[in-house]
Each structure stands twice: as C-alpha cells, then as structure tokens.
Amino acid sequence: MNRLLLFLLSLTTLASASLLHAKPLSISLDVDATQITRKLVNSRLTFETSPGELVLRYPEWVPGVHAPRGPIQNLGGLRVTDDKGQTVNWERDPKDRYRFLVDVPKGSRSVTVAIDYICSQPSTNSNGVDSFGNSFVGIINWNTLLVYPESHPLAEVEVTTQLTLPNGWKLGCAIASNQDDSGIWNLDTVNIEQLVDSPIIMGENFRSFELEAADFPKTNLHVTSESAAALMAPDETIEKFGKLASEAGLLFGGAHFEQYDFLLVCSDQLPFNGLEHLKSSYNSVSERFFLEEDKLKGWEGYLLPHEFVHSWCGKYRRPEGMLTHDFHTVKDTRLLWVYEGLTQHLGEVLTVRSGIWDIDHFKQLLAGKISYLRSIRGRQWRSLEDTAADAYHLRGWSRSWSSLRRGQDYYNEGLLFWLEVDAILRGETNSETTLDDFSKQFLGANYPGGEVLPFTEEDVVSELNKLLKYDWEELIENRITNTQESMPLDFVEKLGYKLKYSSEPTKAQKDREKDRNYASALDSLGMDVSKSGTVRSGLVIDMPAAAAGVSPGMKIIGVNDRKFSLDRFREAIADSVVRGKVTLLVEDGDRFRTIEIPYDGGLRYLELERDESKPDLIEAIYTPRLES
C-alpha cells in the first residue's frame, strides 16, 4: 500500500469526524486583476491550518450551470507555501481531478495558495461561471480563483477579499465594497458560498443606474462595455427595468433580499450568456443592446427578467437535490423543469408585463416554441424529466438529428407545462385562483431572512393542491415523467386559442431567420437550412424531407434546377402546391445527389389564432399588474 493510498484511506475514515468538529475557517483572499486585460488573474488565499494532511478542492459543481464542469483546465499555476515561505508539495487525487492532497510540514501554522488563472477560455458548460477579460471589460467568477478545504462546510468558511483592478476601472457586485487610498477594493467578509454566488463585472466604461421600483428593495443596474456609447441607455428602457422590479414585487409578494444588483455587460466580444445568483445576476448581451430598439424587443430583452426570476425560483427556493453545501457533491437535476421551466415562464410573463416585449411578439414566439417542440420525436424514448436529469450533456452539443436526441427541452416545454397549470387554475376557478397565487405562496412567502429553502416534487404538488384540488400528479406524469407518442396540445385550447397554418411567417419568425441567416421549413418539409445551404437542426425523421433522404450536414447547392439561395428555397416550397414536389441538388460529402421531396403543401408556418368562444387567458396572464 503506497503512501498516497494510506493517506486517502485515513482521510475517508476521518472525513465525517473532521466535518463535525471543524472550527469555522477564515480565509484572506487577495486578488490581483490588473492583468485581466491580458487574460490573466492571480489570487492568493491564506488561512490557518495544522501540520499533516490537508485536502483542497477546486469548485467542480458550481451553482447555476448544473454541471460538474468548474473550469479547472484554465489553471495556469497552483502553488502552496507555508508561513515560513517554504514550498509545500501537493498531489492530485488520481480518482478525483478536482481534489488536491497537500502534506503540510511540521511546524507550519498556515498556508498560502497562489493561483494563476487564464481567463476567456470558456467551455460549453462553464460559460456563466468563468472569468473573462479584455482591454476594456472584466468578469470575475470567484470559483475560478480559489480552492477550499474539504474539511469545512462552505457556510463555515469566511472569506475576506481584497481586489486590485486595472487603473481607473470600476466594479459592480452584490457584496458591499469600498476602495481605500491605495486603490485596493475591500469587500465585506462573506462565507465562501456567498462569495461564489456574487460575481464581479468591471470595466473602464462603467455606469450604475438605480432603478425606480414601487414597494421593492433597492435595485441597481450596473453596466459595462468596450464602448462608452453602449452605456447610453435611453430613460425609457431604464424605466422598463424599474417596472420589471415592481412587477416582480407584485408577482412574488415581495423579495427575500435587501438589495439586488443586475450586472450587465454589453459586448460583442463575450458569449451571450446569463447566470442567476441570489442577490444579483450576470448578464451578457450584444454591444448595441441599449442602442437598437430591436435588441430589447427581441430575444435579448428576455435575459434580465429570466435571471431575475431565478432569484426566487432556483436560488431562494431550490430543488432539494440541487441544494448541496459544497461544490463537489453530485447534484440531482431532475427538477429543472421547475427550476428552469417555471423561471422561463415567469420570466416571459414579467418581460411582457414590464413592457419590454409586446404581447403579440410573445404570442408569435409561443407559436414558434410549439412548432419546434411538436417536432421533437425524442419524446417517444425519453421523458422531459430525463432531459433535466441529463441536462449538461444536452447543452451545446451537435444538433445533428436533435429531434431524436432532444435538447434542453425542460426550459420551453417546462414553460408550456406551467402555462397549462395557470390555464387549469383559471379555468377551474373562474379565474379566482391563478399561477400568481402559486408564485406568491411557493416562491415568495415567509421570507426567513433570505435563507435558501429546498423543495421536492411533493411540495410542488401539495402547494398546487392548496390552491385547487386537482390530479396534479397525473398531469406531471403525462407531461413530465412519461414518454409520449406525440406532444399533447390541448393547453392551447384551454388558453382560448387554436393552432393554424399560415403561408407567411410571423414577424418574430421572419426576424429570427434574418438574424440567424437561415430558412425554416419545419412545419412544411420538416427541416431548416442555413444561408450556405447546409441542412441544420430541425430535420424531422418522419417528415417529407428526411423521408426522401435529406440528412444532417448535407449541403444544398441547387433547388428546382436553379442555384440555391434561401429565397429560392422558400419559393420552391411555395411552388410545391403546383409542382407536387421540391427538387434539391445536394452535396453529400464528396458525392452529388438529386433528391426529390414529394410534397404539395406550400409554405406553412404555425400561428396562434384566437378562439372567440373562450376567454382569452393569454391576455389575462400577461397584462401588467402595476397600475400606470
């Protein structure tokens, strides 16, 4: 038995005892971000320890990304020294790559861990919890810059942070801070869980707005960008974000925080991204977010409301299996259909109620969601819950035959579930009871000083039953936990609408295709094609295109005997009414083929049509609560 194995075994035996008897630990964290413009940040953590075995962990399961993907691959240095300045050796646990085994020498009373972190190297599952930097803008997620002793629960590790920024830069963060005469920022002492839950944005161009919200805690919007002009947010837009806070207060019946900070980066250099935190959110949108009206009205406008709702749904109320008190215990993500699905729904509700989106735009997007989700054949072998259980494998993967594999459907199909719940509550109670009541009671009520409250599926059902006695378990089984032959669509009728086809895309669909350079033939041929002619995601195996032999990745070079373009592709589908087919010349690897798709339905796009014989529940759900 070698020394390392003995060491590991002794730790396993002692692990529970040491957790029970550990004293609170104070870490002094010194972060030098002056090199963040060169994509490097250095941190030094100093804390007391005793000679012998010390196990340090690099955060692996970082909250918010629902994946064991703490970006450990970007470490550019990890050095341990003791209080005499001597190098202390460490070894990586060969069976757990995030675990470092440190042998503290006799006579040492404390150690310092120096970390060099290489920024701006995000991977699919670390985007929101990584650190970034360029000449103008920086983002620090503390999980990238620290290790923590395995012996202590996170709540018992206190961190006092000092931070140095590039000259003249300002910062935004949910943790209170002040800058001393030497230019160093001193952050209030918090526990390590709170620190990791409070990222920082910083930059040369920086603006903070205090939002005007009625009966709501102080809410700030901090913005940074490479461009000074990008910070020139119109008053009208800032007012809408104020309304967002007011409407959230009305929806949840208050807030569990004393202050909330939106951290917003307007940049074309960083990936579009958002990440939720208890008292703040990180949001990254395009540089011209405030300058072009269409940006806010389009899909980017939805980001801040979504991350804001998460403060209640996902952070304050958290699925039990996701509320772990360390960064290494595996999370059970099956309830993401609540965590993300309900957030997706309430986020859109608040986006419309605050005036960021208009209701017609919302309805057009809803039709688009239904069109996409209805095409998902993967529901025949895996449930919606299973997409949540295996969430991180579905993020950012190849879209080849994605209709068979399924994507992160717990977001939008979760949204449809909660929309249906609202329709049932309203329908069965003559609109006396609504999902707003559920939001207040389940996500909002009884704030015990902001302490995070776990929930189970049984808690969700029991809360719904308090509002309306109904077979919620059966609904959850049918919509969430069972596989399905096809997607149940009766919720559309419950909302007071019908589905119909139009030969014209909605404005939202037209904008989306223009924005993303593609043409959707999902409701006609069962495929999408990009501007270059490449067959994209959305190929549906039992619809005309795939049935005729079209495969993912093929490149269409000709359509109905003419050179391919998106417009000619659309025209060919329109002409199918007369021709009874669409003919494609495709490049398939190094082979050319002609594929004839038998089809005579013309262009078809799904739309929602009002059913005047029923109450309009969409209008009722999305109308602002705030009296203007």
Binding site for Zn ion (CB under 5 A): 340
Nearby residues of 202 by Cβ (< 8 Å), 6 or more positions away: 33, 36, 137, 138, 139, 140, 165, 169, 170, 171, 172, 224
Distances (CA, A) of 353 to 347, 372, 424, 526: 10, 25, 21, 34
Report the candidate in 73, 243, 64, 80 with the shortest Cα–Cα distance to residue 149: 80
Nearer to Zn ion, 158 or 340 (CB): 340
Nearer to Zn ion, 295 or 306 (CB): 306
Nearer to Zn ion, 157 or 419 (CB): 419
Nearer to Zn ion, 115 or 322 (CB): 322
* Min dist. Cβ of residue 299 to Zn ion (A): 14
* Min dist. Cβ of residue 13 to Zn ion (A): 40
| CB half-sphere exposure, 508, CA atoms < 13 A | 21
Q: Which residue has the tokens 């190098």?
A: 87
Report the candidate in 127, 112, 146 with the shortest Cα–Cα distance to residue 41: 146
* Min dist. Cβ of residue 371 to Zn ion (A): 22
* Min dist. Cβ of residue 472 to Zn ion (A): 23
| CB half-sphere exposure, 335, CA atoms < 13 A | 21
State the burial class of residue 582 (Cβ atoms within 10 Å of its Cβ: 0-12, 13-18, 19+).
buried
Residue number of the CB closest to Zn ion reads: 340
Tell me the C-alpha distance between 48 and 59, whole Å: 20
Instruction: Decide the pairing of beta strands 25-32 and 157-164.
Output: parallel
Nearby residues of 182 by Cβ (< 8 Å), 6 or more positions away: none
* Min dist. Cβ of residue 443 to Zn ion (A): 14
Nearer to Zn ion, 264 or 521 (CB): 264
* Min dist. Cβ of residue 341 to Zn ion (A): 9
Adjacent-strand bridge partners of 209: 221
Nearer to Zn ion, 117 or 362 (CB): 362
Nearer to Zn ion, 342 or 527 (CB): 342
Nearer to Zn ion, 136 or 337 (CB): 337
* Min dist. Cβ of residue 335 to Zn ion (A): 13
* Min dist. Cβ of residue 440 to Zn ion (A): 21
Q: In this structure, are residues 56 and 150 in contact, taking their beta carbons and an 8 Å threshold? A: yes
Nearby residues of 563 by Cβ (< 8 Å), 6 or more positions away: 557
Nearer to Zn ion, 198 or 344 (CB): 344
Report the candidate in 416, 338, 341, 340 with the shortest Cα–Cα distance to residue 372: 416
* Min dist. Cβ of residue 276 to Zn ion (A): 6
